[in-house]
Structure 1
Amino acid sequence: MNVALLLVIAAAMFATIVLAYQTVEAERAQRRQVERTVEVLEELRQINSAALSGETGQRGYLITLDRRYLAPYQMAREQLEPSLDRVRVLLGDDATARQVELIDQIDALARAKFDEMAESVELLENGRLLDARRATLTDEGVEAMERLVRAIAEMEDIESRILAERAAEAARSEARVLPLLGALFVLLIIAMLAGARLVGRAARAEAEASQAAAVSEARDRADLLARELNHRVKNLFAVILAIVQMSARDKPEAKEVTDSIAQRIRALLTAHEVSQGELERPVASLRALVETSLAPYRSSKHPAEIEGPDVMLPAKRVTPLGLVLHELTTNAVKYGAWKNRGTVHVSWTEDEGMLTLTWRESGADLEELPERKGFGSLLMTSAARQFGGTFERNFTKDGLQVSIVLPVTD
């Protein structure tokens, strides 16, 4: 977008420069035309004035026979030739065909008029007064003068029209360039706003990068603290486990109880490790928790079927659920399906944020169904309350069936 905007601005600037140049050239042409037209009109007036002055002087001389009247005539005759030449120079190559025709016509008519006046003056100077007056009173002189005046007037009209056309062309050029200048001004404002936006975006990006660096550093510190805390918790589990095992050395009759306690401590440790992303499993993965809980006993003699989608549990639900799975696993080994080489089936489904986990044993071939709840049952019921779910179990001849329902999210 920014590149396209810059290209548009560049094109607008180029077009503006071209139109500005054309406008300047049009104004220069108009000024030259004004100067030329003024000079041409002035020379045409000089030619017309010379013809009138010459005719006035000639007629005054014929009437009064006073040679002083010949002074305007002589002056006008001397003025005619330079004025005609000046008009031709001013018109130059820019003259239209009609102007060339008119200047030739003006030249011929003016010379004819002065030749007619010169003839009458010469007749008078030769003493032929009547012939001179007769020549002056003919219609030829009047017609020549009228034709000269009309030709000069037409030449003036053509020059005025050309001047008006030049002025109109300059006005059109100016009219073209002004809107483009306005558009260029708008584009420049847009470019400035875009530049300011880019600067602001760069500043925000720099601030975000700085903030991201700070967050990353804080996260690294938090990870370091979490690893240290995790290490200390594992050490604490190890110390507790060692105390339990050492307590049973001098009391063989308590070995069964201490072994049960030790296994439950190991289950807690396993659940903790799963919730911390250890054992090369995804953090708080339900599948990882189930597989890890079954792993110590699962074999070809103790088969297990695990089925369910990938579900990530909050860490605070992993530990109590791990205790439940540990109890179910050890019970399956001691009293259930795995005691008689049966199979443990673990499956789960997720629906609208609620997880339903089913533990089903087959091939247990139970001779008697348990009637009372032991410590393990109480432990599992208490753990179910901790993860905010429900725990239901049912014994059949084929084995234990358990249904656990808990929320997936916090």
Structure 2
Amino acid sequence: MPNSEYSAHPARILLLEDSVLDAELICEHLRQLHPEPEVRRATKKAEYLAALDDMEFDVILADFSLPDFDGMSALEIAHALVPDTPFIFVSGVLGEEAAIESFRRGATDYVLKQRMIRLAAAVERALAESRERAERKRVEQHRELLVRELSHRVKNTMAMVMSIVRRTAKGSFTVDEYVENLMGRLRAMADAHALLFETNWNEAALEDVIHRTIAAYIRSVERVIIGEAVPVTLDPRAAVAFSMVLNELATNALKYGALRHQDGRVFLNWSVAANEEGVPAVHFRWQEQDGPAITPPKSHGFGTTLITRTIEYELQGSVRLDFDQSGFVCDVIFPLRDPGCDDADGTPLSSGHVRDQEDLTH
């Protein structure tokens, strides 16, 4: 008795057989399979076509000769309608030439009615081969999806890199300043991508994004104090975008803000609450204290533009920058999930992500 472990679900078998006795004998041998298969019998062409139209089958068994039909025609129909379904001839008369021709046209196997003991094993083998083909096809489709997704992300990343390179150059006065600013921004992108890679490019914890980005700039991490915080995870697009914002905030704090002084501190906190549209959103605050006295800038540089545009375009949120004398404050609100985003990395299907990257810097 065949010992099949291929599935917990019974196989669905379409049996094309006009003889009642032969059909009963075939069903008796099929009962050796475990679990016992579900068999639907057709005796003529119209019933055969109706069965193929009604449901999907795992295997088709067909006699070679029928009163108003023939097995070769049934094979051709099956090959046209359900090409991936195994087709096995079960016939009392099937010469060598007919057998060779049936294989040439796509038959999986044939079993002589005089040797019906082979039937269960033949069906079991056909099911196993069919599952293997289906799994290979699924893996190949998944691979193609991953390649397309990777290509999409690389294109978006390169577009952002080119925009950052160009705009950083315009906002820098010396080569050293240009290199420093550019390397910081590219490092923030690389760190975010590395973090996402560790999570198999799924979601990343907001706190992990913060630690990874801040640690690249601030050796004394105790100067950045995380207060009120709730567990929040970001999708890949949001994680990369928010890391870019954090990079600009940290760079600004080191050059001009609280972290420029030894006693300066940065306090971070965030919560989740509904925004004005009633959508769950992250409310994030970056607050500097004990730094040098600051005054509002007369004009905004690329860093400020990058923060504002990233929050507005990439995160679909809002940002408020407060240059208070007691310390700089940045309040950010962005939805946890953009309802208009449908693809793997959150890119709106109605507009190109590459174009958004260009909008970020213009």
For the superposition of Structure 1 and Structure 2, which TM-score range results when normalised by the shorter chain? 0.3 to 0.5
Structure with the larger helix share: 1
Higher Cα Rg, which structure: 1
Structure with the larger strand share: 2
TM-score, with normalisation over the residues of structure 1?
0.41
